[in-house]
């Protein structure tokens, strides 16, 4: 079964009922799996191409009363321009409607200045049926689709107020005219939706900032000359010149030049990174102080920056488990509110016998109920939180990972490449009867023929003018040997030394004569001890799991500040330890970077991988840190807890608002105009609260 995935920009959604209805319409089609995000107004569809086409799915969305535009690199700009034009139009409609409604609302403040009935009708009617046309249109599409949304509530309430007032005026019936109620509600709700749209656009500003990191043009070599071309016209293997102050347009390799790059927006690394010939650079990073010549390896949509954007947008479109309750309530919210409004009307009519007086509290119930706040509570916070994480080099696979990270109780850490740098370094030379220089040069000459990580460490530390080696031979597990100046030498494992308990010792021999010993160690990352301290402060139980020898493991654990550790264990032992922690009732995380960590990463409730890790580890991880610093784990947990706090605050506010406001409206204690203003501001408050996550900074 051939599968295709598309991302669509959706227009016309007004509340959670809209996004739920659109999801239902799409998921009811055979072979389609859809997720709709109200906050970002996007849908992600995965479908069977033998049963559906992109055009058919877009047509189904349009029949449901919404617009849909495929999201591509080109359409992003076009969609933004179109939305800006729509916003300008919406603001014009609002201001005209507000001017028409102002004299009507003025009667509430100055009852002695009551307008004649014909003038009230003339002012209210264009507001009701021109400015309010979008509510009728949205309500029609919603009801035709078999559900009811916020527009149904607004259309019912305001039409009832306008209809009753028109009948009272035309038939000269006794009673008050309520033209101001319907007109004011429409104006206030339109204002609320405009402010909500503006706030919602800011929830995705992190992605917009990432998109703007890549320059529009680049200096590319063509026929021996460097010419300025649009970035979309670049190809793999193009030679590109990047001057000081410019941003890197591609992922590539430095061919010429030395400079430092600001990678903060890509990896979260605050310090500039030095780059020279042979180093890799990434699109979107900024060249600070030197001219670089690059060879392009990845261009356009295939760069690491675009992959980060795709992963983040996919995660923003997913749902955390905490949203399940809000989804269930949103599905029945509007029908329940309509039922409460009908009961309110009947109760007041039975008590008072006054039709007009009975209709006003029912209208207040309709217009004060707010499914929008309920529907935006979770996705708004998730969108801001995940975007903020991406800006600081923390990539969550989905919203479930974001929620789970907030509840971590135990964390298992691999040693090599996670707590440590993952690259052995020379730490000590102990010559025996020869100089330290000869010990290092002869050992490096022998090891230059080996690809072992320890051999590479010795060669890196030695001078470049090494003596020639003949008759080289490497025996796995035993070391290397060969002839230098006609004399036989060999390097093999040496005895441990208490002076460097974290080190691996190698010995250089000439025949049966020991010439000296060399200590190599994989050093603890400079940031690991601080990260461990921060994780402990978050009340997380830490374990170090390593296949290294106990003495080295004990020394690393001690310097890192970890009290629980296991050494000399195999991948299946790590897996068993993760299972044991989970069986103890702890939400357990695993952080690693190697192939041997993949089983434990997959088994943990949530897993972390450093960007330098193996592809298998990155594939298995729920959260990827774009820089090799365990402080990123503490940052991810801190951000996830901050995001979940905002979600809980939003859900509480949305539930409490409706739980308190609807009874007050039913009791006749709220004027419909006040009710409309409260409803309009409730969703704005929820989104604004989510936007406070923009203040979050990594420690």
Instruction: Decide the pairing of beta strands 410-414 and 541-545.
Output: parallel
- Of 182 and 255, the structure prediction assigns the larger pLDDT to 255
Bridge partners of 544? Answer: 413, 565
| First and final C-alpha spacing in the chain | 47
What does the pLDDT read at residue 158?
87
- Of 250 and 568, the structure prediction assigns the larger pLDDT to 250
* pLDDT tens string 596-645: 777 888 889 999 988 754 454 456 678 988 888 899 999 999 999 999 99
Bridge partners of 412? Answer: 543, 590
Structure token digits, residue 406: 């907030």
What does the pLDDT read at residue 577?
92
Kindly give, in sequence order, each residue whose CB lies less than 8 Å from that of residue 580, ignoring residues fewer than 6 positions away: none
- Of 442 and 318, the structure prediction assigns the larger pLDDT to 442
CA 362 vs. chain centroid, Å, equals 42
What does the pLDDT read at residue 368?
83
What does the pLDDT read at residue 612?
58
- Of 371 and 472, the structure prediction assigns the larger pLDDT to 472
Q: Which of 414, 593, 597, 635 is catalytic?
A: 414
**Look-up of token digits 């989804």:** 327
Instruction: Decide the pairing of beta strands 564-566 and 541-545.
Output: parallel
What does the pLDDT read at residue 617?
46
What does the pLDDT read at residue 595?
65
What mean pLDDT is predicted for residues 131-142?
Answer: 87
What does the pLDDT read at residue 598?
77
Confidence bin at 431 (pLDDT 50/70/90): very high
The answer, yes or no, to whether residue 497 has pLDDT greater than 70, is yes
> Which of 51-60, 101-110, 233-242, 607-616 comes out lowest in average pLDDT?
607-616
What does the pLDDT read at residue 93?
93
Confidence bin at 369 (pLDDT 50/70/90): confident
Of the candidates 61, 25, 30, which has an alpha carbon nearest to the alpha carbon of residue 48?
Answer: 30
CA 547 vs. chain centroid, Å, equals 34
Structure token digits, residue 414: 């691999």
The answer, yes or no, to whether residue 270 has pLDDT greater than 80, is no
What mean pLDDT is predicted for residues 194-205?
Answer: 75
The answer to whether 414 is a known catalytic residue is: yes
* pLDDT tens string 283-320: 988 998 889 999 999 888 788 888 888 778 777 777 78
Give the single-character DSSP code of 694.
G
What mean pLDDT is predicted for residues 672-692?
Answer: 83
> Which bin fits 380, alpha (ψ -120 to 50), beta or left (φ > 0)?
alpha
What does the pLDDT read at residue 192?
78
> Which bin fits 353, alpha (ψ -120 to 50), beta or left (φ > 0)?
left
> Which of 91-105, 138-152, 554-568 comes out lowest in average pLDDT?
138-152
CA 430 vs. chain centroid, Å, equals 51
Set out the domains of the chain in order of their start, with CATH numbers.
3-75 (3.30.70.100), 80-205+313-384+643-695 (no CATH), 217-302 (2.70.150.10), 395-421+525-626 (3.40.50.1000), 425-521 (3.40.1110.10)
Give the single-character DSSP code of 418.
I
* pLDDT tens string 62-97: 888 888 888 776 666 666 777 788 889 989 999 999
Are the C-beta atoms of 523 and 425 separated by less than 8 Å? yes
Mean pLDDT of the chain: 85
| DSSP assignment of 520-580 | EE-PBPTTHHHHHHHHHHTT-EEEEE-SS-HHHHHHHHHHHT--EEE-S--HHHHHHHHHH
**Look-up of token digits 């139009």:** 89
What does the pLDDT read at residue 76?
66
- The helix/strand/coil state of 414 is strand
The answer, yes or no, to whether residue 107 has pLDDT greater than 50, is yes
Confidence bin at 490 (pLDDT 50/70/90): very high
Which runs of E-coded beta strand occur in 366-469? Answer: 394-396, 410-414, 425-431
From CA 490, how far away is CA 24, in angstroms rounded? 71
Is the pTM value of this prediction over 0.85?
Answer: no
Structure token digits, residue 171: 């038939």
Burial environment of residue 270 by CB neighbours within 10 A (0 to 12, 13 to 18, 19 or more):
exposed
The answer, yes or no, to whether residue 16 has pLDDT greater than 80, is no
- Of 3 and 619, the structure prediction assigns the larger pLDDT to 3
**Look-up of token digits 């993952």:** 422
């Amino acid at each position: 079964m051939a599968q295709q995935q598309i991302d669509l920009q959706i227009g016309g959604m007004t509340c959670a009922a809209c996004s739920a209805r659109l999801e239902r319409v799409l998921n009811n089609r055979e072979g389609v799996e859809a997720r709709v995000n109200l906050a970002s107004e996007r849908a992600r569809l995965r479908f069977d191409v033998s049963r559906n086409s992109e055009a058919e799915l877009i047509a189904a969305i349009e029949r449901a009363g919404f617009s849909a535009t495929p999201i591509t690199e080109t359409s992003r700009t076009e969609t933004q321009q179109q939305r800006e034009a729509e916003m300008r139009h919406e603001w014009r409609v609002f201001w005209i409607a507000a001017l028409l409604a102002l004299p009507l609302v003025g009667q509430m403040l100055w009852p002695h200045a009551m307008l004649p009935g014909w003038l009230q009708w003339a002012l209210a009617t264009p507001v009701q049926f021109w400015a309010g046309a979008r509510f009728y249109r949205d309500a029609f599409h919603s009801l035709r689709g078999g559900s009811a949304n916020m527009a149904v509530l607004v259309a019912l309430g305001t039409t009832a107020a306008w209809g009753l007032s028109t009948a009272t005026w035309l038939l000269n019936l006794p009673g008050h005219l309520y033209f101001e109620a319907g007109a004011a509600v429409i104006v206030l709700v339109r204002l609320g939706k405009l402010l909500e749209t503006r706030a919602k656009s800011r929830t995705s500003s992190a992605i917009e900032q990432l998109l703007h990191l890549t320059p529009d043009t680049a200096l590319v070599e063509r026929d021996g000359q460097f010419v300025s071309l649009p970035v979309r016209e670049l190809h793999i293997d193009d030679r590109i010149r990047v001057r000081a102050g410019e941003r890197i347009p591609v992922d590539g390799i430095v061919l010429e030049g030395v400079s430092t790059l600001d990678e903060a927006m890509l990896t979260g690394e605050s310090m500039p990174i030095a780059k020279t010939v042979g180093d890799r650079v990434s699109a979107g990073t900024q060249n600070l102080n030197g001219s670089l010549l690059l060879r392009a390896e990845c261009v356009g949509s295939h760069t690491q920056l675009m992959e980060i954007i795709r992963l983040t947008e996919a995660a923003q479109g997913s749902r955390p488990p905490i949203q399940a309750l809000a989804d269930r309530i949103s599905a029945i919210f509007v029908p329940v509110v309509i039922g409460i409004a009908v009961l309110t009307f009947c109760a007041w009519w039975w008590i008072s016998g006054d039709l007009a007086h009975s209709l006003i509290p029912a209208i207040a119930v309709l217009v004060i109920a707010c499914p929008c706040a309920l529907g935006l509570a979770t996705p708004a916070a998730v969108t801001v939180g995940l975007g903020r994480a991406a800006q600081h080099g923390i990539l969550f696979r989905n919203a479930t990972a974001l929620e789970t990270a907030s509840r971590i109780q135990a964390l298992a850490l691999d040693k090599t490449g996670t707590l440590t740098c993952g690259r052995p370094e020379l730490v000590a030379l102990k010559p025996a009867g020869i100089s330290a220089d000869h010990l290092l040069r002869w050992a490096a000459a022998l090891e230059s023929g080996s690809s072992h990580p320890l051999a590479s460490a010795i060669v890196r530390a030695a001078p470049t003018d090494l003596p020639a080696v003949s008759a080289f031979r490497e025996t796995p597990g035993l070391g290397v040997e060969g002839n230098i100046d006609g004399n036989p030498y060999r390097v093999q494992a040496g005895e441990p030394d208490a002076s460097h308990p974290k080190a691996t010792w190698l010995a250089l021999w000439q025949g049966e004569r020991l010439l000296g010993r060399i200590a190599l160690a994989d050093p603890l990352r400079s940031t690991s001890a601080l990260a461990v301290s921060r994780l402990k402060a978050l009340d997380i139980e830490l374990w170090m799991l390593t296949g290294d020898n106990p003495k080295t493991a004990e020394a690393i654990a001690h310097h890192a500040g970890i009290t629980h550790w296991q050494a000399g264990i195999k991948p299946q032992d790590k897996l068993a330890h993760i299972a044991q922690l989970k069986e103890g009732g702890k939400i357990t995380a695993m952080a690693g970077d190697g192939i041997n960590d993949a089983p434990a990463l997959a088994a943990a409730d949530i897993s972390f991988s450093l960007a330098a890790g193996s592809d298998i580890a990155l594939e298995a991880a729920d959260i990827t840190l774009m820089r090799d610093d365990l402080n990123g784990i503490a940052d991810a947990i801190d951000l996830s807890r901050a995001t979940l706090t905002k979600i809980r605050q939003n859900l509480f506010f949305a539930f409490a608002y409706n739980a308190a406001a609807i009874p007050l409206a039913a009791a006749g204690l709220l004027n419909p105009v006040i009710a409309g203003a409260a409803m309009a501001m409730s969703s704005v408050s929820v989104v604004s609260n989510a936007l406070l996550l923009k203040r979050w900074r990594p420690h």
